[in-house]
A and B are shown apart, each in its own frame.
Chain A
Amino acid sequence: SQQGEEDPQALSIQEGENATMNCSYKTSINNLQWYRQNSGRGLVHLILIRSNEREKHSGRLRVTLDTSKKSSSLLITASRAADTASYFCATDPPGAGSYQLTFGKGTKLSVIP
């Protein structure tokens, strides 16, 4: 079953603009991760944020986490055509040895040159 729900399902922006994607989940988590997927194949890990963190940065990526609202956002600044892909959030449950990721349905981002 899918835990995360990304919003919006699809997003189209001009190159240079910022892209914001949101993720909501239902149960308590240990970590939340964001992945990118090109052309429906392998996923690339972008960033991991722990449940006790509120914000994390990596290059042009900024992730926030609000555990009280069970939501996260991924911001891509100064988007490029190469950022065109599907983006998924994934959560893993609390507890020692937690490993099973539950993915949302993803946001399909199109960056127009």
Chain B
Amino acid sequence: GAGVSQTPSNKVTEKGKYVELRCDPISGHTALYWYRQSLGQGPEFLIYFQGTGAADDSGLPNDRFFAVRPEGSVSTLKIQRTERGDSAVYLCASSPRGMGGYTFGSGTRLTVV
């Protein structure tokens, strides 16, 4: 597609549930990133993929968070046993070869109640 697509745009879930957030990057972009943005803050890095592999997952806050990109295009961010503190906007971005300005998606607003 023309841009980075993220689905769903909004997700409300109950504490303790499992959620999956999807990112469809720009075709041909080998680099894909996940960021999390809490209210009133700038985005914070979670994980970076180059192709199919997670080149850097140092930003994942704990082992409840996991992300995959099995075919080197679409990525899924998975959160187990959600907590209220996980509520945030989850942003995905892609770029060619990990360089230069990113193209961000519109984000998924996750609310854990």
Contact = CB atoms under 8 A, between A and B. Distances in A.
B48 A48 contact: no
A97 interface: yes
Nearest to B108: A41
A51 interface: no
Leading 10 A-B pairs by shortest Cβ distance: A103-B42, A45-B101, A42-B106, A99-B98, A43-B104, A42-B104, A41-B106, A103-B43, A100-B45, A41-B107
A88 B109 CA distance: 19
A99 B99 contact: yes
Interface of chain A: mostly helix, strand, loop or mixed: loop
Interface residues of B, number: 31
Interface of A: 1-2, 4, 33, 35, 40-45, 48, 88, 90, 97, 99-106
Interface in B25-52: 31, 33, 35, 37, 39-45, 48
B18 interface: no
Q: Which of B31, B42, B104, B109 has the most C-beta atoms of chain A within 10 angstroms of its own C-beta? A: B42
Nearest to A86: B42
